[in-house]
Structure formats: C-alpha cells, structure tokens
Amino acid sequence: MQQMKLGATSLRVSALALGCLNFGSRTSQRDSYRLLDQYVDAGGSFLDTANNYAFWNEGCIGGESELLLSRWMKERGNRDQMFIATKTGAKPAYPGAVFENMEGLGRKAIEAAIDESLRRLGTDYVDLYYAHIDDTSTPLEETLEALDELVRKGKVRAIGCSNYSLSRLKEAQRISEAGNLTPYSCVQQRYTYLQPRRDADFGIQVSADEELLTYCRNRGDLSLLAYSPLLNGAYTRKDVSIPESYGGSESLSRLQMLKEVAAETGGTMNQIVLAWMLHSDPAVIPVIAASTPEQLGENLGSLDIKLSREQLERLNQA
C-alpha cells in the first residue's frame, strides 16, 4: 500500500487508515480480527482508534477498541509494524456521562488519558495522539504544552487534532511555533465528496471546507485526514439515504458525476470518492471503516483506481 508523509514529521503512514471505532463492541472480536488481518495483508498499517470508542454502544464505557487492538497485536506479535493513532479529550468523565461531560484537554486529563490508553493498548508509546474534540474551556497553551511533554517523554511520536475550527487550528499552530512546541502534524475532520449545505449542523463534529484545504495546501506541513468519507454507505446502499445535510441540486450533480467516472474507470462510487481524495491537492487520507470483508475489499480497491487530470477536473467542478 502506498505510504504518505505525515505533516512535517519523518513519519510515513498508509494511504488508507483503518477506522477501528466499533472493533470490540458492535463488531465482534472474531470479525474485528478478520478485518484487521485483511487490511494488513493488503499492506496497511495505519490503525485509527480513540479512548472513547465506543462508549455509546450498548454495554460499553469507552476503551473497548483499544483493548481489542491490544489483544490482536499481542496475538499477531506485530506492534512494531503497526502505526497506532488514538485520541483523547472526548471520553465521558464518568460512566453514564455524555459528550457534554467530556474529560477535556487540560494537562491533568491528558496525562491520565495517555497512561490509560497505553495500558489498554499494551504498548509504551502511540505513534499519533489526537486532541479529539476542541476544548474551548482550556487554554490552547495548556493543551499544547501537555502534548509536547508527552512527545519529549517518548510516550507519543506525533500529535494531531480533530474537530477544530480553522481559526483555532491556526492559533494552535501559531502558539506551537512561537513556543517551540511540537506542532499538530495533521487534522482529522468530517469530509466527503458531497459538500454539506451551509446550514448543516454536525454537532460536535467539524466538517472540512475549502478554506481548510487551502490552508493545508499552502502550509504543506499539515496532513488532512477524512472521517466518514463514505457517509455510512449512502453512496451505494439502497437502504441508506444521503443525509439531509448534504441535500440540494449541487449534490445531485456531483452524484451524477461520480456515476459517470465510476462507469469510465470500472470502479464503484465508493471507490471513486476515496480515489478522488487521494488524488486531490492537497492529498487527503481517508479513514475507512468496514463491518464485512466485502466492504473492506471494496474500499481497498480504491487504491487501484487511477483518475486522469480531466476526470479530476470534472469531479471538482461538478
């Protein structure tokens, strides 16, 4: 699998990250292992989890995904071959709490969370550590200093953020540069081929827009990752509708263009969405998810799709 540079670091990551959100909860251990093995067999090594995955699933409190990955890596003996990304800041502060009662991104919360994640993952370091959801009640300086200390201690190799507004991201990068702190190497946002309506409300999730893409393109030292790139299967599954947040005439035009390019390349609409991200400027790393080998196989097939400059232009202008 193609490897891509992570921000301004010396680290390289798989072109497709495997999202592990439901592993160990809604996706059984057997099925999770099967998907992980399939992904690794395809050359992938970039695993994306979080300390709160997936507390909202029945019977879960958060940390189930990390524990599953720990068991799998121990049985396979492959920790050194994996690039593990996990997140902090969005786990409920106590059992039964919701997102309104998150642990946050204060120094003490971060220091406690990393040790808990390392224990669950069965490792002494994580490759990439995200500030999961912006905590506006905590000064950015405090968060960045705490994350920088984790890097200096060797508990974390690189840091990133997710669900940050562009203004907060810019301010965070300014603070890191001024204080000689480890900067965010990447930002992970909600992003797909369809563009959300201007009045779309994703709650705590933040959708990437053209301004963010331009910022990443101009800097050249900040990778962009996309979660929910396939809208839970809405592009291809008849039983899943396109969310209202992405409705409108523009979306109809873009869906038609996806169908045309899919027909021209022999790929599926899902594969064209992922290939479009990888071919974009800046290139976007999709965080793919799957619950069956067939779904994962389709996602992995996007790596074989080669889009021409003319096809990319049509997709962009639709």
Is residue 100's pLDDT more than 90? no
pLDDT band at 249, cuts 50/70/90? confident
State pLDDT tens for residues 55-72. Answer: 999 999 999 999 999 999
Domain span including residue 178: 3-317
* pLDDT for position 31: 98
CATH of the domain at 266: 3.20.20.100
Could you tell me the maximum CA-CA distance found in the chain, to the nearest angstrom?
A: 54
State pLDDT tens for residues 185-206. Answer: 999 999 999 999 999 999 999 9
* pLDDT for position 101: 84
DSSP assignment of the chain equals --EEE-TTSS-EEESSEEE-TTBTTTB-HHHHHHHHHHHHHTT--EEE--TTTTTTSTT--S-HHHHHHHHHHHHHT-GGG-EEEEEES-SBSSTT--GGGB--S-HHHHHHHHHHHHHHHTSS-EEEEEE-S--TTS-HHHHHHHHHHHHHHTSEEEEEEES--HHHHHHHHHHHHHHTPPPEEEEEEE--SSPPPTT---TT--B--HHHHHHHHHHSS-EEEEESTTGGGTTT-TTSPPPGGG-SHHHHHHHHHHHHHHHHHT--HHHHHHHHHHHSSS-EEEEE--SSHHHHHHHHGGGG----HHHHHHHHH-
- Residues in Cβ contact with 162 at an 8 Å cutoff, skipping those fewer than 6 apart: 87, 130, 131, 132, 133, 187, 188, 189, 206, 227
pLDDT band at 94, cuts 50/70/90? confident
Tell me how many domains the chain contains: 1
Is residue 50's pLDDT more than 80? yes
- Kindly state the percentage of the chain with pLDDT values over 70: 100
pLDDT band at 115, cuts 50/70/90? very high
Is residue 34's pLDDT more than 90? yes
Using a 10 angstrom Cβ sphere, with 0-12 exposed, 13-18 middle and 19 or more buried, the burial of residue 202 is: middle
- Residues in Cβ contact with 51 at an 8 Å cutoff, skipping those fewer than 6 apart: 62, 63, 66, 86, 87, 88, 91, 113, 116, 117, 120
pLDDT band at 98, cuts 50/70/90? confident
pTM for this predicted structure:
0.96
* pLDDT for position 247: 85
Is residue 18's pLDDT more than 90? yes
